[in-house]
Structure 1
Amino acid sequence: MSGSSPRPSYAALFRIPHARRTFAAALTGRLSYGLVSLAMMLSTTHATGSYAVAGTVMALFGAASVFLSPARAALIDRHGARRALIPMASLYAGLLTAFAATAWRPGAPALVIGALAVAAGTCTPPLGPTMRTVWSRLVPDEKLLRRAYSLDGVLEEVLFVSGPLLVGAVVQWAPPAAAVVLSALLVWAGTLAFALSPPVAGVRPAEAGAGRDERRWRGGRALAQPVVVALGVGLSLGAVDLLVLAFAGQHHHGADTVAWVLAALSLGSAVGGLLNGAVDWRLSPGARLPLTAGGLGLALLAAAFAPDLGTLTAAVACAGFFVAPALTTSYLIADAAAPPGFRTQAGAWVNTAVNAGSSGGAAGVGLLVGQVSLGYCFAISGAVSLTAALVSLRAAPTTAPAAPVPPAVRPTSRTSAAEGEATPEDAAPSRL
């Protein structure tokens, strides 16, 4: 451990040189991801008049964003964050702007809109994983690093709650495509400020010859445990959104009540994430991870017996309490397991698992609703998370991962120090 205090506070993170500026820039860019899905969906519906086309376009955009995330993270590991992120964000923002221009008025061709959406999704900058890599380089203390990851996850949750509210404000006075333009501006400005900050200059290309280490690392089980849990959490959460909507309809509540229930889920996740970062755990991350996934599963099983919306809200809030800790711990394990030069990719695999799981959970439960009772659907979603917890026990590494190495003693790359002192290497959601 470094000479930091035994119980460093969250405020200690912002006393680290350049941390406040770098984190604020990353959050600005990531706010774009809270807007973009709803903005693109509304724009496509406005332009084509078809919900089916809008759904297809969003599925294509999401697939390109999610499943190519590890490949984009590999570019950052291979070429350095600054060299990879700026062109990536510029191309992504440009394609979003082209999408907005095409979808600004009704009558736009669906094929062109779809092609632009796929192209934009292919270029989505992995700001979340890269920021987590920067945290792992900036923070020498394991306890403080857990606080950094927890705060990162909680604020990301806030961004995804506030993003749709911004879209709603924009469409009051402009076409939905204007919200897509706003998303493009946020991601470009935020990524540029982030990439030009001194700590990001240290996220440099992997050492020459590291490919052999990469092949050995990928052949092991280092990422099995965090990826399994992230996938299970994503599947469960993807199901919950639709199940809450169906439950509200079944009990004759308006759609506005759904927002409050899902807000309780986010609030529970925020509280759980902050407490997870503040507590000095005796258990190792590998031992805690199955417990968080199991807690989520048990809370969703309890939701299966909810007789009314108030009880369901309480159960969903309890489920949320385990979400941020599960994902934060998954990222910590992935970061500790990855060799130097591959941490961004490690975080991106966890990120891909939770996002792919969320999409799969929504699709899967959509087939079940109407076929079986909602209670059984909630129970199945809880069982998925419990299964992930059990599987992760078997996937846990037999040896504990090494604690994060302080930046001062981590190996540096051969990139000249003139490109920016600070910290070499990598990491990138819930989400993008």
Structure 2
Amino acid sequence: MYAAVLRTPYALRTFCAALVGRLSYGIVSLSLMLAVTDATGSYGVAGAVLAVFGGASVLLSPLRAVLVDRYGPRRALMPMALVYAGLLAVIAVVAWRPGAPGWVFVVLGLAAGAGTPPLGPTMRAVWGRLLEDRRLLQRAYSLDGVAEEVLFVCGPLVVGVVLLWAPAAAGVALSAVLVGVGTLGFVAVPVVGDVVPVAREPRARGGRLVGRLRQPVVVTVGVGLALGAADLLVLASAEAQGRGGAAAWVLAALSAGSAVGGLVNGAVDWRGSARVRLGALAGALAVALGCAGFAPGLVGLGIAAGCVGLFVAPALTTAYLIADEEAGAAFRTQAGAWVNTAVNAGSSVGTAATGALVAHVPVAVCFVVAGGAPAVAALVSGLMPGPREVPVAA
């Protein structure tokens, strides 16, 4: 069933090139944190660098996607990739030897984050061009989501291997090489590089996009809040039982569950409304996460985390499908970027809010509160007024 997706002309070549570039994102955060810590001797500086790097990357993602939609992947992505890779290379050189002032890393981290190429949203937009059959597109998005999950699991392992032979700055340099090579291979594929930007469709006055992205964006904010909270709550639960190191295995179970859920979701030929399905998946995720707080022991928590994961990839895949369907060809990358930004921003806020909450409230209650986020988001999105026109960049 997934073979039909990859047999589509140019699909396998395009997907593999994009994955090479996206592996950089699975490596860069840990490498950057370790390299800056080694160079400055300060976890505070490393945290500040990661904060500005991640913040700029997430919040400016829709703007970078606008450039891809407006000028096409080749003209927009390659300059971004060259600037981004170049700044990572500079960070690697500066961090190779201790002694550089912290503010230099903060400035470089902010600049690099601002230029992160939107390879994920662009790849999903390319899937939309390659596959007209909505069932195949659902499978492609599921496959894409599972592959991305695997990349972010493998990224820290790659960093661990690098550290056996070189300083952490080498991991930052490797991230630069991967994003440069991956993006170059990606835009070299004719189905990507030869894309001519679609003229702005008169779907709404003045080049406006029908505002039907509210549900996928709002729901994915809720999913992100839940995931950000889950990461911290799993660690808190493991440390409370004197086995903080076991948190990694519990989170691995969540990722494995997400991969399984994504593959199953892509294999099913859903016939109902995607919007109804997204609300149901958010509700199921809420119940699973709320129950996880009452799981007995770390083994029970690992099983519960796997059950939570079963609904993560399907929820995100469904949100991307809705966004693609509503956006139209001229705004595909932007639509996917908004969903991507929503889940990442939600995750950051969820981690921060849970950090403040867990010090005053029992962990089990925190799980219930975190589980409520996607349910409330789905309810709020359902109660919002009907679609109206909202401005997008033209």
Q: Which category describes the TM-score, using the shorter chain as reference length?
A: over 0.9
Distance (whole Å) between structure 2 residues aligned to residue 395 and residue 61 of structure 1: 33
2:190 to 182, 198, 203: 198
In 1, are the aligned partners of 2:201 and 2:207 still within 8 Å (CA)? no
- Structure 2 CA distance for partners of 1:202 and 1:146, relative to 1, 3 Å: farther
Q: Whole-Å Cα distance in 2 between the matches of residues 331 and 97 of structure 1?
A: 33
1:3 aligns to what?
none
Whether 2:380 is the aligned partner of 1:391: answer yes
Instruction: Please name the residue that 1:242 is paired with.
Output: 232
1:12 alignment partner in structure 2: 4
Give me the whole-angstrom Cα distance separating, in 1, the residues matched to 2:303 and 2:122: 34
The structure 2 residue matched to 1:313, chosen from 279, 296, 302, is: 302
Matched, 1:42 2:28: no
Letter of the 2:239 partner, please give it.
G
Which whole-Å CA distance do the structure 1 matches of 2:126 and 2:4 have between them?
Answer: 16
Is 1:286 equivalent to 2:275 in the alignment?
A: yes
Aligned equivalent of 2:253, options 250, 261, 264: 264
Moved more, 59-68 or 274-283: 274-283
Matched with 2:369 is: 380
Identify if the C-alpha distance between structure 1 residues 383 and 261 changes in structure 2 by more than 3 Å, giving closer, same or farther.
Answer: same
1:341 is aligned, of 330, 335, 341, to 330
Q: For 2:315 and 2:324, locate their aligned partners in 1 and report how far apart those are by CA, in whole Å.
A: 14
Other structure's SS at 2:64 match: helix
Q: Does the aligned pair in 1 maintain the 2:211–2:387 contact within 8 Å?
A: no
Q: Is residue 231 from structure 1 mapped to residue 225 from structure 2 by the alignment?
A: no
Q: Map of 1:61-76 to 2, 5 A cutoff? A: 61-76=53-68
Shift of the 37–230 alpha-carbon distance from structure 1 to 2, 3 Å rule, reads same
Q: Residue 272 of structure 1 contacts residue 325 of structure 1 at CA under 8 Å; is this kept in 2?
A: yes
Trace 1:22-421 onto structure 2 (pairs within 5 A).
22-207=14-199, 215-217=207-209, 220-255=210-245, 257-395=246-384
- Change over 3 Å in CA distance of 1:98–1:324 after alignment to 2: same
Separation in 2 of the partners of 1:296 and 1:209?
A: 36
How far is the alpha carbon of 1:398 from its aligned partner? 7.2
* Deviation readout 1:322-358 (Å, 9 max, x if unpaired): 0000000000000100133111001000000000011
Q: Cα distance 1:25–1:382, how it changes in 2: closer, same or farther (>3 A)?
A: same
**Cα separation, 2, equivalents of 1:259 and 1:396:** 42
Which structure shows the higher helix fraction? 2
State how far apart, in whole Å, the 1-side matches of 2:113 and 2:292 are: 35
Question: Using the alignment, how far apart are the partners of 2:339 and 2:386 within structure 1?
Answer: 16
**Identity over aligned residues, as a percent?**
61
What is the CA deviation profile of residues 344-393 of structure 1, one whole-angstrom value per residue up to 9, with x for unaligned ones? 00100000000001111110101011211001111110011111121232
Q: Partners in 1 of 2:164 and 2:354 — Cα distance?
A: 33
Q: What is the CA-CA distance between 1:33 and the residue it aligns to?
A: 0.3
Aligned amino acid, residue 376 of structure 1: V
Once the two structures are superposed, what CA deviation does each residue of 1:211-261 show, in whole Å capped at 9, x if it has no partner? 9656531xx431100001110010100011111111001011141x11110
Q: Secondary structure at the match of 1:342?
A: helix
The question of whether the paired residues in 2 share the 8 Å contact of 1:225 and 1:396 is answered with no
Q: What stretches of structure 1 of length at least 5 have no aligned partner?
A: 1-8, 400-432
Q: Distance in 2 between matches of 1:208 and 1:247?
A: 51
Scaled by the length of structure 1, what TM-score is found? Answer: 0.87
Measure the CA separation in 2 of the matches of 1:95 and 1:242. 31
Q: Which amino acid aligns with 1:289?
A: L
Please give the alpha-carbon distance, in whole angstroms, between the structure 2 residues aligned to 1:232 and 1:212.
Answer: 28
Q: 1:13 offset after TM fit, Å?
A: 1.1
Q: Deviation per CA, 1:182-224, whole angstroms, max 9, x where unpaired?
A: 000000000000011011034332316869656531xx43110
State the distance in 1 between where 2:386 and 2:34 align.
45
**Does the 8 Å contact 1:48/1:109 carry over to 2?**
yes
**Does structure 2 retain, via aligned residues, the 8 Å contact 1:210–1:341?**
no
2:129 and 2:203 map into 1 onto residues whose CA distance is 21
Contact conserved, 2:212 with 2:387, CA < 8 A, in 1?
A: no
Per the alignment, residue 406 of structure 1 pairs with none
Note if contact 1:77-1:204 (Cα within 8 Å) is conserved in structure 2.
no
| Structure 1 range deviating more: 196-205 or 295-304 | 196-205
Determine if contact 2:200/2:330 at 8 Å carries over to the other structure.
Answer: no
Is the contact between residue 39 and residue 95 of structure 2 (CA under 8 Å) also seen in structure 1? yes
Amino acid at match of 1:172: L
Q: What are structure 2's unaligned runs of at least 5 residues?
A: 389-394
For 1:328 and 1:203, the matched residues in 2 are separated by 24
- Shift in CA distance, 154/46, structure 1 to aligned 2, threshold 3 Å: same
TM (norm. structure 2) is: 0.95
2: CA distance, partners of 1:92 / 1:214? 33
Which runs of 4 or more aligned residues in structure 1 lie more than 3 Å from their structure 2 counterparts after TM superposition?
208-215, 395-399
AA at the equivalent of 1:271: V
